[in-house]
A and B are shown apart, each in its own frame.
Chain A
Amino acid sequence: MNAPASIFNGDEAELVSTRFTVPGMRCAGCIGKIERELPKTPGIIAARANFSAKRVAIRHDPAIDEDRLTQALRDLGFEAQRLADNPLGVETEERKSLMRALGVAGFGMMNVMLLSVSIWSGADGPTRDLFHWLSALIAMPVIAYSGRPFFASAWMALSHRRTNMDVPISIGVILATALSLYETITGGGHAYFESAVMLLFFLLAGRALDAEMRTRTRAGIGALLGRMGKSASVISPDGSTRRVAAADLEPGMLVLVAAGEAMAADGEVTEGTSAIDNAMLTGESAPEPVGPGAVVHAGAINLSAPLRIRLTRVAEDTALAEIARLMDEAGQSRSHYVRIADRASRLYAPVVHSLALLAFVGWMIAGAGWHQSLTIAIAVLIITCPCAMGLAVPAAQVVASGALLKRGLLVKDGSALERLAECDIALLDKTGTLTLGEPRADIAALDAETRTVALGLAQASRHPLSRGLAAALLREGVEPAVIDNVRETSGTGLTGQWHGQEVALERPEDTAQSLAACLRIGESTQTITFADPLRGDAAATIAALQAEGVGASILSGDRAAPVEAVARALGLEATAEASPQAKLAALEALKAQGRRPLMVGDGLNDGPALAAAHASIAPGTASDASQQAADAVFIGEKLMPVALAIRVARRTMRIVRENFGFSIAYNMLAVPLALFGLVTPLIAAIAMSVSSLVVVANSLRLARSAKTSARE
Chain B
Amino acid sequence: MTGLVFLIPIALGMGLLGLGAFLWSMRDGQYDDMDGAAARILIEEDEPLEDDA
- Residues of A at the B interface (CB closer than 8 Å) are 27-29, 31-32, 36, 49-53, 96, 99-100, 103-104, 106-107, 110-111, 114, 127, 130, 134, 138
Contacts and interface: CB of A to CB of B under 8 A. Distances in A.
A50 B40 CA distance: 11
Contacts, number: 56
A579 to B, nearest CB: 42
Contact of B26 (A49, A99, A106): A99
Contacts of B31: 99
Interface in B1-43: 1, 4, 8, 11-12, 15-16, 18-19, 22-23, 26, 31-36, 39-43
Contact of B32 (A50, A104, A114, A127): A50
A27 B15 contact: no
B8 A134 contact: yes
Contact of A32 (B8, B16, B44): B44
Contact of A52 (B1, B12, B36, B44): B36
Contact of B23 (A27, A49, A52, A100): A100
B15 A110 contact: yes
Contacts of B40: 28, 31, 51
Interface residues of B, number: 25
Contacts of A106: 19
Contacts of B36: 31, 49-52
Interface of B: 1, 4, 8, 11-12, 15-16, 18-19, 22-23, 26, 31-36, 39-44, 47
Contact of B15 (A29, A32, A99, A107): A107
B11 A111 contact: yes
Contact of B16 (A50, A100, A107, A127): A107
Contact of A51 (B8, B16, B19, B39): B39
Given A32-B43, A50-B33, A51-B36, 7 more contacts: A28-B39, A29-B42, A36-B47, A50-B32, A51-B35, A52-B33, A96-B26
Determine chain B's interface SS by DSSP, over half rule.
helix
Contacts of A53: 32-33
A216 B46 CA distance: 32
A127 B3 CA distance: 12
A99 B22 CA distance: 10
A148 B49 CA distance: 53
A52 B32 contact: yes
Contacts of A104: 19
Contacts of B32: 50, 52-53
Contacts of A50: 32-33, 36
Contacts of A96: 26
B43 A28 contact: yes
Contacts of B44: 32
Contacts of A99: 26, 31
Contacts of B15: 107, 110-111
13 contacts: A27-B39, A28-B39, A36-B47, A51-B39, A53-B33, A100-B23, A103-B22, A107-B16, A107-B18, A111-B11, A127-B4, A130-B4, A138-B12
A107 B35 contact: no
B22 A52 contact: no
